[in-house]
Every structure is written in structure tokens, then in C-alpha cells.
């Protein structure tokens, strides 16, 4: 039986540390899947790109590839960019590629969130009613993605008996921004704020968010601000990705098959899907 390949699909970042963190994560993930050949690839801004990852797998004798998107929610990348790019690579290299589902606001992600919260919230035990939960998101042009984060945030808030929750978004396309959400938080009478970044790896967005949080802490020494680890630092993330992999193996329709043929065949990469560090695109 031929070994199959797994292409771990990341977004890409301008921050070298974030790029290296994703590659290191891919190596750890590969060690958990000895029955597969595993490569990493980025959608934009970073190297290697998806094509390089696919070529590396083909060079190792792989004829079937399952692409696993390390993406939290739906959006243009999941609905169009990634399926179309992989479809065109499938044709170009005559290799079968299936695209597994994104992670979503599933029960497993609620559990992962609660695990990260528990690591920082021990020092405010018993003060849940005086605590605001802050779900820090990237933000998306698709309302469904922002809605999924709102639902996930609410479920985590209630699981931990926190009084209230708020979302703040890193990208300019979604309201409220992290800064605006912190301004709202200032007016609320909670002495503890637990911040969970719904971000996988370091990047420009996270750097800016942490700078805003540091400034907020300095301005409000009376409020305790606790920031959890990033999502990739939980071992539960790999378990969720394994489930997405096994769903495809068990016959779930992949995301490429859900895109109409005309879109797949006529797709041209968006202007910001460039690789390397000198390009002009949105900041991650």
C-alpha cells in the first residue's frame, strides 16, 4: 500500500518567528504521523508555498495528498483561495489532492480554549463574577467566521462562569478592533480580564495586540490582565487536526469538491498571494 502525503497548510506571516514556529509545529505533527509523509506550505507571505510542499511530497513517491488547513474559521481563503490553488496543483502535477475541513467552533476547540484559560486563571479562582473574558480574533470579511468566534467566546465564557465576554479583532476589517474593545473594557467594572488569542502562531497581528495589552496594563494597574498561550501551544490542536484528517480518510467530501468547476478552473491568485518578505499584502 502506498504511503499518503499530508500537506499542512498555514497562512504565512511577515514575522520570521511565526514562520519558524509553523515549520517547527509541522515537524512535531509529522512525528505523530509516521504512516504519512508530511510537508508544510504557506498560502502567502512565507516560504515554502503550497506548490513547493506538493513537489516535495511527489519527489518522495506520494500519489495522494490530504491537505490540512491550520485555519480556525471559514472565509475567502477556505472557500476559494486554498481549494482553487490545490485544484490547479493537482492538475499540474497529476496527483490526487483532497482538502480537509477547517477547525471551526467545535466542542474540541471549546475544550482546547478551556485548557488554555485554566493555565492562567488559577490565580483568580473564586473571582469568576469579577472577570471579563476577551476573545481576541483576527477578524474576517465573512460574517459567518466572526459569528463562529462570537459563539466560541460565549461558550468558553459560560464554561468558566465568567460574568461577561467581548471580542476584539486584529484586522481593520472587523469591529471592534483590539484597541476599541479595550476602550469598552475600561468602562466595565471587572477587575480581571482573561485574554485568549484565537491565533495559532506569532505574527504582526499578535505583536500589535500584545503592545496594546501592555499599554492597557500600564494604564490600569488596578485591573489584572491575564493572557493565555497561543493555540498551537496546546497538544489538543494536533488531535483536532488528526480528526479532520481521519474524516477525509473515512469518506467525508473534501472542500475542493464543494467549489464549482468554473471557479476552480478560472481562478487566478489574488494580488496579495505573494511569497517572500518584500511583498505588499495584508499584515499577519
DSSP characters over 17-58: HHHHHHHHHHHHHHHT-TTEEEEEEESSSSSSBHHHHHHHHH
Same domain, yes or no: 86 and 144: no
Degrees, nearest 5: CA angle 129-146-83:
140
187, 141: one domain = yes
Question: 96 lies in a domain?
Answer: yes
Task: Say whether both 212 and 256 belong to one domain.
Answer: no
Residues 24 and 119 in one domain: no
Residues 141 and 212 in one domain: yes
Provide the residue count of the chain: 284
Q: Is residue 277 part of a domain?
A: no
**Does 119 map to a domain?**
yes
Residue 114 within a domain: yes
Residue 56: inside a domain: yes
Same domain, 83 and 69: yes
Q: Same domain, yes or no, for 119 and 93?
A: no
pLDDT tens digits, one per residue of 6-62: 999 999 999 999 999 999 999 999 999 999 999 999 999 999 999 999 999 999 999
- Between CA 94 and CA 5 the distance in angstroms is 14
Distance CA 134, CA 138 (A): 13
Name the residue range of residue 34's domain: 4-101+252-266
Phi-psi region of 175 (alpha: psi -120 to 50; beta: other; left: phi over 0): beta
Residues 210, 120 within the same domain: yes
- CA distances, 265 to each of 81, 170, 214 (Å): 12, 33, 47
Beta pairing partners, 50: none
Low-confidence ranges of the chain (pLDDT < 50): 271-272, 277-283
Would you say residue 40 lies in a domain?
A: yes
Dihedral in degrees, nearest 10, Cα atoms 65, 70, 73, 79: -30
> Does 111 lie in the same domain as 97?
no
284 found inside a domain: no
Choose, from 2, 11, 271, 275, the residue flagged as catalytic: 11
Is residue 284 annotated as part of the catalytic site, yes or no? no
Measure the CA–CA gap between 188 and 38, rounded to whole angstroms: 47
Q: In what order do the strands lie in the sheet with 36-42?
A: 36-42, 4-10, 64-69, 96-99
Helix ranges (H only) for the chain are 16-31, 50-59, 76, 82-93, 107-121, 143-159, 178-187, 204-219, 236-249, 261-266
Residue 134 and residue 90 share a domain: no
Q: What is the pLDDT of residue 274?
A: 55
pLDDT value of residue 280: 31
Q: For residue 18, how many other CB atoms are within 10 A of its CB?
A: 26
What are the two backbone dihedrals, phi and then psi, of residue 131, each rounded to the nearest 5 degrees?
Answer: -120, 135
Task: Please check whether residues 65 and 140 belong to one and the same domain.
Answer: no
The reply to whether 8 and 53 lie within a common domain is yes
- DSSP letter at 3 equals P
Asked whether residue 12 is domain-assigned, the answer is yes
Give the C-alpha separation, 26 to 23, whole Å.
5
pLDDT number for residue 1: 57
How many domains does one find in the chain? 2
pLDDT of the residue at 270: 67
CATH classification of the domain holding 92? 3.40.50.1400
Note the pLDDT of residue 247.
98
Amino acid at each position: 500500500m502506498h504511503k499518503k502525503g499530508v500537506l499542512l497548510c498555514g497562512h504565512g506571516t511577515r514575522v520570521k518567528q511565526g514562520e519558524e514556529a509553523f515549520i517547527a509545529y509541522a515537524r512535531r505533527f509529522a512525528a505523530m504521523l509516521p504512516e504519512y509523509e508530511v510537508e508544510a506550505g504557506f498560502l502567502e507571505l512565507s516560504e515554502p508555498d503550497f506548490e513547493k510542499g506538493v513537489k516535495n511530497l511527489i519527489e518522495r513517491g506520494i500519489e495522494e495528498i490530504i491537505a490540512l488547513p491550520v485555519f480556525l474559521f471559514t472565509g475567502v481563503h477556505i472557500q476559494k483561495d486554498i481549494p482553487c490553488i490545490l485544484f490547479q496543483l493537482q492538475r499540474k502535477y497529476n496527483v490526487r489532492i483532497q482538502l480537509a475541513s477547517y477547525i471551526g467552533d467545535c466542542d474540541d476547540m471549546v475544550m482546547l480554549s478551556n485548557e488554555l484559560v485554566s493555565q492562567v486563571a488559577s490565580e483568580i479562582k473564586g473571582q469568576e463574577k469579577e472577570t471579563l473574558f476577551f476573545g481576541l480574533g483576527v477578524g474576517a470579511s465573512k460574517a459567518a467566521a466572526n459569528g463562529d468566534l462570537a459563539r466560541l467566546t460565549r461558550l468558553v465564557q459560560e464554561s468558566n462562569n465568567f460574568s461577561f465576554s467581548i471580542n476584539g479583532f486584529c484586522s481593520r476589517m472587523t469591529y471592534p478592533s483590539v484597541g476599541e474593545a479595550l476602550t469598552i473594557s475600561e468602562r466595565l467594572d471587572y477587575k480581571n480580564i482573561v485574554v485568549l488569542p484565537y491565533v495559532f502562531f506569532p505574527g504582526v497581528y499578535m505583536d500589535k495586540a500584545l503592545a496594546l495589552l501592555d499599554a492597557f496594563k500600564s494604564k490600569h494597574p488596578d485591573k489584572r490582565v491575564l493572557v493565555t498561550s497561543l493555540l498551537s501551544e496546546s497538544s489538543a490542536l494536533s488531535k483536532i487536526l488528526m480528526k479532520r484528517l481521519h474524516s477525509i480518510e473515512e469518506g467525508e467530501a473534501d472542500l475542493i469538491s464543494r467549489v464549482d468547476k468554473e471557479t476552480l478552473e478560472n481562478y487566478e491568485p489574488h494580488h496579495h498571494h505573494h511569497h517572500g518578505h518584500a511583498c505588499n499584502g495584508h499584515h499577519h
